[in-house]
Chains A and B, each alone.
Chain A
Amino acid sequence: MKMTDTIGSDTSHQLAEHLPPYQSHEAVMEAERCLYCFDAPCMHACPTHIDIPGFIRKISTGNVRGAGMTILDSNLLGATCARVCPVEELCQGACVLRATDKPIAIGRLQRHATDHLASVTPDPYQRGAANGRSVLVVGSGPAGLSAAGELAKRGYAVTVWERSPLAGGLSTYGIIPLREPIEVALGEVAMIERLGVEIHTSTALADEPALADALTRFDAVFLATGLGAVPAMPVGGAEHIRDGLDYIAQAKLNQPDPDDVQARRVVVIGAGNTAIDAATIARRRGGEVTIVYRRTAAEMPAYHHEYEFALREGIDFAFLTQPVEVVTEDGRVAGLRCTAMTLGEPDASGRRRPVPVDGSDRLIPCDLVVRAIGQEGYGPDSAFGLDLAGTYIAVDPHLRASRERVWAGGDAIRDHGAASTVMAVEDGKKAADSIDAYFLSVNPSDTPEPGGHHG
């Protein structure tokens, strides 16, 4: 079906969350399929190790509020994770029913429980009794919020600095609304704030001196600063290529996109999950969308289920195609000139290296070119004076960075393959544990009060 006739109309419908919520009886029916495995593989596979059979059983008995609490006990951002986690690769991929039957729809059940909890018990936890320690969390993405919430539960005075006008990190700005509406991310931010966490938006930690200064005002600093913008591309007319994250953010905030109104033909460069997300937005807005990738489908970094989703959405793929130049007419994008590639010898990553085919240039006519080729990492200038591991902030197994009283976690420390929201949440928990353990070792009598919960 062509969707071009919807260009310029309200996008809230096309971009609305694509999975409907479960009705109560649907959730109970799905929950009742669960075998309630002991020491269950889904729980092992979840990076935050939620007691999945436990919460599913609670849904089946009608204790949906309890189910939500079971989830949040292990993962404060359970509502976001329920929507964005690549469950096929995690819990659901490990379900014992995956071979003989359909795996349990763990993500959707988790959404049912966390949404219910948010509606009946919006404040499931109380701030722990003050323990006299203060922590600065830099960045309010999943890693930062998770650490902030866990620390507040234990009585730490937590302050968050967030560079952007809204808190929530990529859950607020980067995850397409089809998967997670912005309200869900902002709802979690609000819950963390009501736990007594002070969030200062439009406030950035600038550099090494700023970190040194912060360490004089806070007992500990947790850096959860994520990654940077999409890097510029070394091709002619690069200044005409939109940053994919910026493109998605505009859709997420439901802002009209000036480029997009005329953009009937969109080319997205890259083949990771972000590329598919950007392409999905363009497609849902009515564009004819082509993803340009210099290797083949087999080498795509996007999850296979994401690739299949894109095909179902009607997104075209131009494989073995390398962009060379953005062609403009009267200052407007008119097309992307590309070279055909062929696969040569394997490179360092083990994937066969694409090599250009001489004289194979062709023009893909389009109105908008979006780049989605990953995010910029850290360098000596941007790492707050901390040691680096490649383009990430270096940490030890307890997430301690190279400077005393500084911890780091989330995308800032993680090689991109495994980077995901739930890994960031787990890092936040680990950092909170590590910070707690640190102060306990500094002053063992200083046993922090565990944060109680009611509900």
Chain B
Amino acid sequence: MADLTSTFCGVTSPNPFWLASAPPTNSGYQVNKAFEAGWGGAVWKTLGPPVLNISNRYGSLTIDGKRMLAINNVELISDRPLEVNLREIAEVKRNWPDRAVIVSAMVDADPRAWETIIRQIEDTGADGIELNYGCPQGMSERGMGAAVGQVPEMCQLNTEWATSVASIPVIVKLTPNVTDIKASARAALAGGADALSLINTINSITKVDLDTFSISPTIGGRGTHGGYAGPAVKPIALHMLSELMTDPDTVASGVPISAIGGIVTWTDAAEFFLLGASSVQICTGAMHYGFRIIDDLVDGLSNWMDDKGFATIEDFRGRALSGVSTFGQLDLSYQAVARIDTNACISCNLCYNACEDTAHQCIDLVDTAGQVVQPGFDRNANGKAVADSRPKPVVRESDCVGCALCANVCPVDGCITMVTVDSGRQPVTWDQLQAESPAVTTDWDAMSAYRSTVGIDIH
């Protein structure tokens, strides 16, 4: 059995699955229940100055009947009295010494405010502090949350104020609402952060009601943007994590990263570990299905690790990073073509339609006699037997540019494979072309000449 024990900045937990700072970690009752269910850690719902929340604070994204593909929240930080939170944190930590209890905080941009809250948090016995520089609404207008996270100087300054007084690890939680996440990370590191976590929520409006014409969620007839999280944000979170894990400054600092954003299953989590995360945090997944999802998170990851022969998370953490590259370093001579497994094909023709309308018109419909035919029906034919004589899509590989659209739209797993073929060309990258034949990269005539020399024909 794989060992899922995780150590993050010296804080250990029986598994790397933490609840993110959000409604699931709002109270001692909830965190206690989560720990009973088996969660490795919890980041307490952000503590800070007094707030008032509103009703209808969540909206969500439904696609093709799938609910909660993303949640949109107009919620603020904890609205429970500070001393109640502090008392409950202390109780939980006392009862669960083996779990990671991290407390999220956000205060005014004032060194005294930071000092006060950090002392209060440390007094609870918590294992660490997470600085919330993410909240995209409500707090940012008051100079906190994203207002700090989006300005590197503010991020560094606030982090310094916190780290200069803290004796327990300080994690800086980054907002994704920036153009360059690396700049945010460098600022946090300059401020002395012991660790990073990302992502917080993304500015969003999830819906406009077609009857009332109001945006969702609607609070007494009005609405505002909220923070977007859940499965739909995973690709953005994966990208931001990869940016930091390939950023020389971040890597040199050696700080661990707690990954957040769209993690619902153990497979999601494994992807973040493969890109270098040291722990993962989950919010929307728990809000959708409850604390019980921890069972499969732990069990699934552990079984997968056993299958792969990994004893600990360190055995595979960051394994995917060596393949993360820039566009300029990709081999332009690499060639793949689509191949359709006729036996697996169910003849939905989605690939044919996709290639014909929006790719490179290189899938033919071939009938049972091997003839290429056009789509369309015979008005006089009918009955279920028409399905037996249905033509099958076949790729004209010589014309296929290998864009992979067909393989992506195909509803049958494994039916369309992108097969590597020999392009007959020497490997070359764009960076090399730029260095060796700059004209080719700036002038169409030079490019055309280059193409005919190496044998690239794009019609």
Q: Name the residue among A35, A44, A426 with the largest chain B CB count within 10 angstroms.
A: A44
Within 8 A of A (CB), among B376-420: 376-379, 381-384, 386-387, 390, 411-412
In the complex, A97→B202 CA distance in Å?
38
The answer to the question of B349 belonging to the interface, with a C-beta cut-off of 8 Å to chain A, is: yes
The reply to whether B352 and A38 form a contact with Cβ atoms under 8 Å apart is: yes
The answer to the question of B64 belonging to the interface, with a C-beta cut-off of 8 Å to chain A, is: yes
Could you give 6 example pairs across A and B, Cβ below 8 Å?
Answer: A32-B65, A39-B376, A45-B384, A45-B386, A88-B384, A96-B387
The reply to whether B386 and A38 form a contact with Cβ atoms under 8 Å apart is: no
Within 8 A of B (CB), among A29-56: 29, 32, 35-41, 43-47, 49
Nearest chain B residue, comparing its CB with the CB of A30: B65
The answer to the question of B165 belonging to the interface, with a C-beta cut-off of 8 Å to chain A, is: no
The answer to the question of B255 belonging to the interface, with a C-beta cut-off of 8 Å to chain A, is: no
The reply to whether B348 and A94 form a contact with Cβ atoms under 8 Å apart is: no
The reply to whether A32 and B349 form a contact with Cβ atoms under 8 Å apart is: no
Please tell me the number of chain B residues within 8 Å of chain A, measured between CB atoms: 24
The reply to whether A41 and B350 form a contact with Cβ atoms under 8 Å apart is: no
Which residues of B have CB within 8 Å of A40? Answer: 348-349
The reply to whether B377 and A96 form a contact with Cβ atoms under 8 Å apart is: no
Q: A44-B382, A90-B383 are in contact. Are A32 and B347 (CB under 8 A)?
A: no
Which residues of A have CB within 8 Å of B378? Answer: 44
Q: Name the residue among A29, A36, A45 with the largest chain B CB count within 10 angstroms.
A: A45
In the complex, A430→B386 CA distance in Å?
20
Which residues of B have CB within 8 Å of A90? Answer: 382-384
Q: CB within 8 A of A49: which of B365, B377, B384, B387?
A: B377
The answer to the question of B140 belonging to the interface, with a C-beta cut-off of 8 Å to chain A, is: no
The answer to the question of A421 belonging to the interface, with a C-beta cut-off of 8 Å to chain B, is: no
The answer to the question of B361 belonging to the interface, with a C-beta cut-off of 8 Å to chain A, is: no
- Nearest chain A CB to B85's CB is how many angstroms away? 40
Which residues of B have CB within 8 Å of A45? Answer: 382-384, 386-387
The reply to whether B377 and A38 form a contact with Cβ atoms under 8 Å apart is: no
The answer to the question of A259 belonging to the interface, with a C-beta cut-off of 8 Å to chain B, is: no
In the complex, A98→B385 CA distance in Å?
13
Q: A49-B379, A89-B383 are in contact. Are A37 and B64 (CB under 8 A)?
A: no
The answer to the question of B375 belonging to the interface, with a C-beta cut-off of 8 Å to chain A, is: yes
Q: CB within 8 A of A37: which of B349, B365, B384, B386?
A: B349
The answer to the question of A197 belonging to the interface, with a C-beta cut-off of 8 Å to chain B, is: no
Q: A36-B350, A38-B350, A39-B349 are in contact. Are A29 and B65 (CB under 8 A)?
A: yes
- Nearest chain A CB to B351's CB is how many angstroms away? 9
In the complex, A230→B408 CA distance in Å?
56
The answer to the question of B246 belonging to the interface, with a C-beta cut-off of 8 Å to chain A, is: no
Known: A29-B65, A32-B65, A41-B390. 9 other contacts (CB 8 A): A36-B350, A39-B377, A40-B349, A45-B382, A45-B383, A47-B382, A49-B382, A95-B387, A100-B346
The answer to the question of B204 belonging to the interface, with a C-beta cut-off of 8 Å to chain A, is: no
Interface of B is mostly: loop
Nearest chain B residue, comparing its CB with the CB of A97: B346
In the complex, A98→B64 CA distance in Å?
21
Q: CB within 8 A of A35: which of B348, B381, B386, B387?
A: B348
In the complex, A60→B62 CA distance in Å?
12
The interface of chain A, by Cβ under 8 A from chain B, is 28-29, 32, 35-41, 43-47, 49, 60, 88-90, 92-100, 423, 426, 430
The answer to the question of B333 belonging to the interface, with a C-beta cut-off of 8 Å to chain A, is: no
The reply to whether B64 and A60 form a contact with Cβ atoms under 8 Å apart is: yes
The answer to the question of B353 belonging to the interface, with a C-beta cut-off of 8 Å to chain A, is: yes
Nearest chain A residue, comparing its CB with the CB of B64: A32
In the complex, A88→B384 CA distance in Å?
8
The reply to whether B65 and A94 form a contact with Cβ atoms under 8 Å apart is: no
Nearest chain A residue, comparing its CB with the CB of B412: A100
- Nearest chain A CB to B377's CB is how many angstroms away? 4
Nearest chain A residue, comparing its CB with the CB of B350: A38
In the complex, A44→B386 CA distance in Å?
7
In the complex, A37→B386 CA distance in Å?
15
Nearest chain B residue, comparing its CB with the CB of A91: B384
Query: B189-228 vs A: 1/0 string, CB under 8 Å?
Result: 0000000000000000000000000000000000000000
Which residues of A have CB within 8 Å of B347? Answer: 37, 41, 96
Which residues of B have CB within 8 Å of A60? Answer: 64
In the complex, A100→B413 CA distance in Å?
12
The reply to whether A35 and B384 form a contact with Cβ atoms under 8 Å apart is: no
Nearest chain A residue, comparing its CB with the CB of B66: A32
Which residues of B have CB within 8 Å of A28? Answer: 65
- Nearest chain A CB to B342's CB is how many angstroms away? 14
The reply to whether A38 and B65 form a contact with Cβ atoms under 8 Å apart is: no
The reply to whether B411 and A35 form a contact with Cβ atoms under 8 Å apart is: yes
In the complex, A37→B387 CA distance in Å?
12
Nearest chain A residue, comparing its CB with the CB of B345: A96
In the complex, A446→B411 CA distance in Å?
49
- Nearest chain B CB to A257's CB is how many angstroms away? 36
Q: CB within 8 A of B346: which of A29, A96, A423?
A: A96
In the complex, A60→B411 CA distance in Å?
18
The reply to whether B352 and A93 form a contact with Cβ atoms under 8 Å apart is: no
In the complex, A317→B383 CA distance in Å?
28
Which residues of B have CB within 8 Å of A88? Answer: 384
Q: A32-B65, A38-B352, A60-B64 are in contact. Are A99 and B346 (CB under 8 A)?
A: yes
Q: A28-B65, A93-B387, A94-B387 are in contact. Are A44 and B381 (CB under 8 A)?
A: yes
In the complex, A207→B375 CA distance in Å?
46
In the complex, A36→B411 CA distance in Å?
11
Nearest chain B residue, comparing its CB with the CB of A46: B382
Which residues of A have CB within 8 Å of B353? Answer: 38-39
Q: Name the residue among B377, B384, B386 with the largest chain A CB count within 10 angstroms.
A: B384
Which residues of A have CB within 8 Å of B377? Answer: 39, 43-44, 49
In the complex, A36→B383 CA distance in Å?
19
In the complex, A92→B348 CA distance in Å?
14
- Nearest chain A CB to B124's CB is how many angstroms away? 46
In the complex, A323→B140 CA distance in Å?
89
The reply to whether B382 and A38 form a contact with Cβ atoms under 8 Å apart is: no
- Nearest chain B CB to A348's CB is how many angstroms away? 23
Nearest chain A residue, comparing its CB with the CB of B353: A38
- Nearest chain A CB to B457's CB is how many angstroms away? 28
Which residues of A have CB within 8 Å of B382? Answer: 44-47, 49, 90, 423, 426
